Amino acid sequence: MPAVRAADRLLERPIPRSGEAIPAVGLGTWQAFDVAGNAAEMAQAREALRALVDLGGRVVDSSPMYGSAESVCGALAAELGIGPKLFVATKVWTSGTQAGIRQMEDSMRKLRVERLDLMQVHNLVDARTHLATLREWKKAGRVRYVGVTHYHVGAHGDLEKFIKPGDIDFVQVNYSLAEPQADRRLLAIAAETRTAVIVNRPFAEGAMFGRVKGKPLPAWAGEIGCASWAQFFLKWILGHPAVTCAIPGTRNAMHVADNLGAASGPLPDEAMRKRMAAHFESL
Ligand SMILES: NC(=O)c1ccc[n+]([C@@H]2O[C@H](COP(=O)([O-])OP(=O)(O)OC[C@H]3O[C@@H](n4cnc5c(N)ncnc54)[C@H](OP(=O)(O)O)[C@@H]3O)[C@@H](O)[C@H]2O)c1
């Protein structure tokens, strides 16, 4: 199984607004960590989180929309004693000022943190309302960074409007070889406005593995250190200079190690990224 060794140094990228560096591959928890009450799946999630931190990863992304994922993540981080090492991102996904405040406070309890590293408005739901609260919370030190998210190309224009004024720290968006549209405009605007970019759905919710099933990696993928299709997909994403961090979803510790492997060794330059895209298209 291709993996990163604990001794390898993970690629980190700076959050433009602060200069603080975070590992370029993190962990998404949608579905994967919605496992409260299932002992076998909880044990898998524990090993996935342990692997993330053992191998130098830190970024975990959740949401109140993900069932028990926030509670599971908080409980496992406490059990493993790794809470302080994590960069914890979650979201607010409701309407109205008071409902937003209640939900965000609830998330902090579930995740067992006194302040959140990153609070994002999930799918831009009632974004102006929550961003007003979050600007206050940031001043008061309850959140360190503020962001907006979406998962669909149809919302890229709206994300663009939110980040254009240049006062939102992070934009989280879908971007992959299967869904490359963010690089038409949004990623360039993120770079211009010094907005950090978190990439969700890096494998188009896993669908990309179906497309390459039974197909070997091209020999030239070795030139950029790809030992698996997951690394091929992630290195293509990380090759875009505006990308700060990609957050593949899984509770499989082997997959976590495989994914973190994309954040070590060389990354593709623009010519190589074009070659990778053409190859993916040809499959
Ligand atoms: N609106 C939003 O804000 C929004 C929307 C979508 C997603 N997100 C965030 O982004 C994260 C990632 O998106 P996603 O979970 O939808 O999709 P994804 O990361 O594109 O794909 C997840 C799928 O990839 C598989 N996988 C992961 N690593 C693998 C590996 N190394 N080899 C083979 N298969 C692998 C997983 O299977 P296994 O479980 O078998 O590993 C799972 O089926 C989410 O978990 C969530 O945190 C946010």
Q: Which of 194, 201, 225, 229 is nearest to 215 (CA)?
A: 229
Ligand 1 within 6 A of 34 CB? no
Ligand 1 within 6 A of 90 CB? no
Buried b (16+ CB within 10 A) or exposed e, 87-113: bbbbbbbbeeeeebbebbeebbebbbb
Ligand 1 within 6 A of 94 CB? no
When pLDDT is averaged across residues 166-186 and rounded to a whole number, the result is 97
Q: Whose CA is nearest to atom 36 of ligand 1?
A: 250
Q: How far is CA 189 from the centre of its chain?
A: 19
The answer on pLDDT for 8 being more than 80 is no
Q: Contact 92/130 with Cβ under 8 angstroms?
A: yes
The DSSP secondary-structure symbol of 218 reads P
Q: Which of 171, 173, 205 to mutate to test the pocket of ligand 1 (most atoms within 8 A of CB)?
A: 205
Q: Which of 124, 178, 199, 185 is nearest to 155 (CA)?
A: 124
Buried b (16+ CB within 10 A) or exposed e, 52-71: bbbbbbbbbbbbbbbbbbbb
228 CA → ligand 1 middle, Å: 16
Q: Whose CA is nearest to atom 47 of ligand 1?
A: 28
Q: Whose CA is nearest to atom 25 of ligand 1?
A: 206
For residue 4, what pLDDT is reported? 55
All residues at 6 or more sequence positions from 258 whose CB lies less than 8 Å from its CB, including other chains: 1, 2, 3, 227, 228, 230, 231
Query: Higher-confidence residue: 4 or 256?
Result: 256
Could you tell me the pLDDT band of residue 58, with boundaries at 50, 70 and 90? very high
The answer on pLDDT for 65 being more than 70 is yes
Q: Whose CA is nearest to atom 23 of ligand 1?
A: 206
For residue 2, what pLDDT is reported? 45
All residues at 6 or more sequence positions from 235 whose CB lies less than 8 Å from its CB, including other chains: 224, 225, 226, 262, 267, 268, 276
Mean of per-residue pLDDT scores for the chain: 96
- Tell me the two tokens of residue 74: 């908080």
The answer on pLDDT for 221 being more than 90 is yes
The answer on pLDDT for 200 being more than 80 is yes
For residue 1, what pLDDT is reported? 42
Quick: pLDDT tens for 263-277.
999 999 999 999 999
Ligand 1 within 6 A of 152 CB? no
Ligand 1 within 6 A of 231 CB? no
Strand partners, 200: 174
The answer on pLDDT for 169 being more than 70 is yes
141 CA → ligand 1 middle, Å: 30
207 CA → ligand 1 middle, Å: 10
Quick: pLDDT tens for 82-128.
999 999 999 999 999 999 999 999 999 999 999 999 999 999 999 99
Ligand 1 within 6 A of 209 CB? yes
When pLDDT is averaged across residues 49-77 and rounded to a whole number, the result is 98
Percent of the chain whose predicted confidence (pLDDT) is above 90: 97
The answer on pLDDT for 247 being more than 70 is yes
Q: How far is CA 214 from the centre of its chain?
A: 27
For residue 6, what pLDDT is reported? 55
Compute CA distances 11 → 81, 194, 239, 261, whole Å: 24, 19, 12, 10
Ligand 1 within 6 A of 203 CB? yes
Q: How far is CA 53 from the centre of its chain?
A: 15
For residue 9, what pLDDT is reported? 83
Ligand 1 within 6 A of 61 CB? yes
Atom of ligand 1 nearest to the CA of 254: 31
When pLDDT is averaged across residues 19-42 and rounded to a whole number, the result is 98
Single-letter residue type at 207: A
Query: Higher-confidence residue: 105 or 1?
Result: 105
Place of tokens 């299967």: 178
The answer on pLDDT for 137 being more than 60 is yes
